[in-house]
Amino acid sequence: MRTLNAIAKEIRTDWAKPYFGAVPYLRAMSELSSIDEHYGYDDARSIVRYFLANAATYRGDTAKRCKAELKSML
Residue 1 has a pLDDT of 85
Residues 63/15, Cβ–Cβ less than 8 Å: yes
Residues 7/59, Cβ–Cβ less than 8 Å: no
Q: How many domains does the chain have?
A: 1
Domain that holds residue 35: 4-73
Residue 8 pLDDT more than 90?
yes
> pLDDT digits over 18-65, tens only?
999 999 999 999 999 999 999 999 999 999 999 999 999 999 999 999
Is the pTM higher than 0.85? The answer reads: yes
Residue 62 has a pLDDT of 98
